[in-house]
Structure 1
Amino acid sequence: MTGTPGALARGLLLAAHPGPALAVTALSGLLAMAQGLEPAQVALVLAAVLAGQLSVGWSNDLVDVSRDRRTGRPDKPLATGAVSLGVVRGACIAAVVLCVVLSLALGVAAGLVHLVCVASAWTYNLGLKSTAWSWAPYAVSFGGLPAVVSLVDGQLPPWWWPVGAALLGVAAHLLNVLPDLDDDAATGVRGLPHRLGRPYVAPVAATVLVAASAVVLVGAGAPLAVSAAIGAVVLALAVVVVAGSGRVPFVSAVAIALGDAMLLVVAR
């Protein structure tokens, strides 16, 4: 294992799944600003969510290290030896402690809901990923995030925030697993996407994304002309998700998800 500080830091960062971690953290910050929280509260939300996401990412690689070694994953620092189990385990423990402290600093209600979201994500890592219920942690964790932000302000979120976010979470699960279906199958992972089969994952993900868009548009009460225009774009992208080839379906699905996320934030 390379022992230079730079290599160690890079390995630790990659083991945390930085892309998803930063995306969820950024979404929480946008929701917090849409809720009208004070800057200090927004910063605290960001810190708590980031700590939770880091713990989820590191725990995922710790649980999957044997599987990743068997499949020869070059993108997994624990599998390649770029970082040690001890270092990642220590970082994960520290992230859990920080997550608990920072979450409770948001307030008891908001903090407990956030800890439920993080615990839900951990259940995926610890076994639900290999069952037909693999989608449930994504629905719970994404759906609960808007409630965390609203409860910091002493309010419950509008109904379409958690419903739309939960649907986005399910779609994220389907799309996130799609590139790894073959490696997962080789190591005995059989979550919902694996049971659906590769030909059906993209169509189901597209359907869920369209449903999320419909929920957000209805909840936001957008003018009919605006809703019709957005709906037409979403449906066109959904067709591309199902019928496209190469990376085009994935990019189209991400475009729908980003659009839904932005609607979730701005149409409060």
Structure 2
Amino acid sequence: MSGVPSAGPAPVRPSAGRRALALVRAAHAPPAAAVTLFAGAYAAGAAGTGAARAALVTLAVLAGQLSVGWSNDWLDAGRDRAVGRRDKPVVTGAVTPGALRTAALVALVACVPLSLALGARAALAHAVFVAAGWVYNRPLKATVGSWLPYAVAFGILPSVATLAVPGPPAGPGGAWAPVWATAGGALLGVGAHLANVLPDLEDDAATGVRGLPHRLGRRVTAVGAALVLLVAVLVVVLGPPGSPGTAGTAALVGAAALAGSAAVVALRRPSSRFPFSAAMAVATLVVVLLVATG
């Protein structure tokens, strides 16, 4: 009818497949998968938990990682919309903040029995790991202590696997991971944090986020990420008893090349995701060395 404004087409509701894919993307799938696979591989290889126990470690860590990833995009939804982060499903409308909140809490609840099935001490270590991720999401992400949750989480992750080793009926079971493995994991976490934040420094600053990388500036953060990742590999190569051997030397050379190229790209192409990809590649080297050396 003339004079009556048209309501326009109704918004299209995303299909179930699109919503599922959006949830996978919102969970920060690549790093979540990398952390989960590392935990399972370390449990099966270095810790020697056995296939069934390693699978349980993998499921527990996966649930925890999903809860952390979904909570991150849920809590950051307002900030991501403000700066137009089209790589975020919650910004494009493929998933709602409410759906992310529900998914994060369901994953967190599922994480509890899976962790307890590993034993009390492994469950406690995993609780610290997951709590560190949630604490980073809020409130530490915007503070000078933004690096601390990464150091704590990745430092304790090897112990989730080693503490899950079943012991005799009256015994405590597994032990804490070696100091060098804990230190290597903590350094790896800090380096990954520095590299991951680099492409988003300006967007973060525009919405009031001033973590450690933002305070250090792009140049110092890029060089610092490269150095910390390189030291992480150095600790894992030289930490175990005996000579590092050819594989350890090759890992050091490869890590140096990756870390150096990541720093150069971060300074020349600020929006590039290559520094984080390089950090993931260095993390893969660390994982292989950890599993191989035990």
Instruction: Determine what percentage of the aligned residue pairs are the same residue.
Output: 51
- In the TM superposition, 1:112-191 aligns within 5 A as 112-153=124-165, 154-191=174-211
Structure 1: give runs of 5+ residues left out of the alignment: none
Structure 2: give runs of 5+ residues left out of the alignment: 1-11, 166-173
The one-character-per-residue Cα deviations of 1:202-232 (angstroms, maximum 9, x if unpaired) are 1101111121112111212352553445434
Asked whether the 8 Å contact 2:74–2:98 carries over to 1, the reply is: no
Per mean C-alpha deviation after superposition, the further-off stretch among 251-260 and 69-78 is 251-260
RMSD: 1.8
Partner amino acid, structure 1, of 2:134:
W
Asked whether the 8 Å contact 1:147–1:156 carries over to 2, the reply is: yes
C-alpha distance 86-156 of structure 1, shift in aligned 2 (>3 A): same
Aligned length: 268
Structure 2-normalised TM-score?
0.85
**SS of 1:167's equivalent?**
helix
- Larger helix proportion, structure 1 or 2? 1
1:10 is the counterpart of 2:21: yes
C-alpha distance in structure 1 between counterparts of 2:96 and 2:206, whole Å: 25
Per mean C-alpha deviation after superposition, the further-off stretch among 256-265 and 32-41 is 256-265
> Which one has the largest radius of gyration?
2
C-alpha distance 48-251 of structure 1, shift in aligned 2 (>3 A): closer
Asked whether the 8 Å contact 1:2–1:8 carries over to 2, the reply is: no
Partner amino acid, structure 2, of 1:130:
A
C-alpha distance in structure 2 between counterparts of 1:253 and 1:234, whole Å: 9
2:75 alignment partner, one of 26, 51, 63: 63
C-alpha distance in structure 2 between counterparts of 1:4 and 1:132, whole Å: 41
The one-character-per-residue Cα deviations of 1:89-126 (angstroms, maximum 9, x if unpaired) are 22111101101111111100000110111001100001
Structure 1-normalised TM-score?
0.93
2:38 alignment partner, one of 22, 27, 34: 27
Asked whether the 8 Å contact 1:28–1:46 carries over to 2, the reply is: yes
1:92 is the counterpart of 2:104: yes
C-alpha distance in structure 2 between counterparts of 1:98 and 1:118, whole Å: 12
- In the TM superposition, 1:186-265 aligns within 5 A as 186-221=206-241, 223=243, 226=246, 227-244=248-265, 245-246=268-269, 251-265=277-291
Partner amino acid, structure 2, of 1:260:
V
C-alpha distance 36-119 of structure 1, shift in aligned 2 (>3 A): same
